[in-house]
Amino acid sequence: MANTANDTNFFTDVCKNFDDAAQFTGHPEGLLSQIKACNSVYRFQFPIRRGNGFEVIDAWRVEHSHHMSPTKGGIRYSEMVNEDEVMALAALMTYKCAIVNVPFGGAKGGIKITPKNYTTGELENITRRYTTELIKKNFIGPGIDVPAPDYGSGEREMSWIADTYMTMNPGQLDALGCVTGKPIALHGIRGRKEATGRGVAYAIRECVRVTEDMQKIGLTAGLGDKRVIVQGLGNVGYHSAKFLTEFGATIVGLCEYEGAIYNANGLNVDEVFAHRKLTGSILGFPGATEFKNSMEGLEQPCDILVPAALENQITVENIKNIKAKIIAEGANGPCTPEAEDIFTQMGGIIIPDMYCNAGGVTVSYFEWLKNLSHVAFGRMEKRYAENSNANLINTLESLTGQSIPSEHRLMIIKGASELELVNSGLEDTMIHSYHEIRETLLSKPGIQTLRTAAFVGSIDKIAVSYMNLGIWP
């Protein structure tokens, strides 16, 4: 994969996208500057004991916008993390939350390490110390700033964060809402792990559902005949590929660090995943053409490309070689603004990151609500719904003298589980937001891309919040 972050101006790119959209909003310049700026940038270093000595770790937490509280965003564990990247990702979180109507400001964290070079004990030390630093500076709390997983972190790290926070805030009733993406056993929520990938699949499904938009780019509506290449087999890439397959698409290409594989007849994502686990590489997967240079994988024939790894993967260098008609940004910032301009001229559609990968934070919001309410979704009403549906069926059966076959009966009376409610909330969010963005695109002459339309929608909502807060006249 192309190297990133340190040699780019990711925050500048986000601001450029913001500026392109701001001209369509009509808000005063000062308000736009306030929305765009990163409110608080906390850069810190702390030592950990390693071997016979110490190592100093670089870390960040950036709160981009406080127009809503708490602020929200993941913590990235990566050697490539830098301040510019964390600022850009924090800003994207603000716009992302706004576009999917999740009532948070944006934030992001970064710890500059390569997790695989550290033991579990060292990672725990680093995570707990990072959390302690956030607590000391009031950069974490269920009503302040709520971290979550991101590239290089997951449920395990979130448990350490929750435990550290609870230890240092004994008796705080809502303490578990200080972080999301926790394991179920620690009051996480079902469906959070798959949420970003599931959301990406919903976003693509919604985009290709619109017949007139598909006709314009020479595709038919629906996922049934769509060939997809996914970059990244991490949490987001794997689940995007899995749900896209479930929705009827064919995964023809997969790209990872070590190379890429392609099979026009389709790849079984779980088999590739298992092969990689066994051999340490996706290369050598039976029946697939392979490319040692992973970036070549992106340029193979397909209808939809899902970059779900890191930022800055699709640039002026390779955009002209991309065969896909639709790029769905599973990762944050995979396409540079210059590449997007060229792709738009080529007649392609980019489903922008701030909407496309918003499934994760949407379900994080549900988890936070669950933690604040101290009750799992569906707990109160599941059985009640089942009983009342059964009463209805029984009444109908006795009035009509007909009986409903048992498999239909079970399907009709069933009350919703937590997972079903989460997935339903996520699906509704992704469908609704797609059409909101598309409406903006159609209603404002001059807007060329879904990204600009999404930014316009977000900026408008954030501006309204500032005005409602009385911060802006």
Q: Is 364 annotated as a binding residue?
A: yes
The phi, psi pair for 117, rounded to 5°, reads: -85, 5
Nearest approach, Cβ of residue 241 and ligand GLU (Å): 18
Q: Is 132 annotated as a binding residue?
A: no
Residue found under tokens 């924090």:
90
State the Cα torsion 440-444-445-451 to the nearest 10°: -40
Q: Is 216 annotated as a binding residue?
A: no
Contact set with ligand GLU (CB under 6 A): 72-74, 148, 150, 180, 332, 357, 360-361, 364
Q: Examine the residue annotation and report whether 136 is marked as an active-site residue of this protein.
A: no
Measured distance CA(305)–CA(221) in Å, rounded: 16
Measured distance CA(8)–CA(111) in Å, rounded: 19
The phi, psi pair for 130, rounded to 5°, reads: -60, -45
Residue 395's Cβ-count burial label (10 Å; 0-12, 13-18, 19+) is exposed
Running DSSP on this structure, what letter comes out for residue 415? P
Both tokens of residue 222?
Answer: 């629906």
Q: Is 196 annotated as a binding residue?
A: yes
Nearest approach, Cβ of residue 360 and ligand GLU (Å): 4
User: Nearest-CA neighbor of 108 among 78, 208, 164, 218?
Assistant: 78
Within a 10 A sphere around the Cβ of 134, how many other Cβ atoms?
25
Nearest approach, Cβ of residue 392 and ligand GLU (Å): 38
From the list 16, 36, 108, 242, the catalytic residue is 108
Nearest approach, Cβ of residue 361 and ligand GLU (Å): 4
Nearest approach, Cβ of residue 181 and ligand GLU (Å): 6
| CB closer to ligand GLU out of 38 and 361 | 361
| CB closer to ligand GLU out of 238 and 285 | 238
What are the start-end ranges of the H helices in 280-380?
A: 294-297, 337-345, 353-356, 359-373
Both tokens of residue 237?
Answer: 């890439």
| CB closer to ligand GLU out of 72 and 370 | 72
Residue ranges at the known binding site for substrate: 72, 96, 364
Q: Which residues are catalytic?
A: 108
**Known binding-site positions for NAD(+):** 196, 235
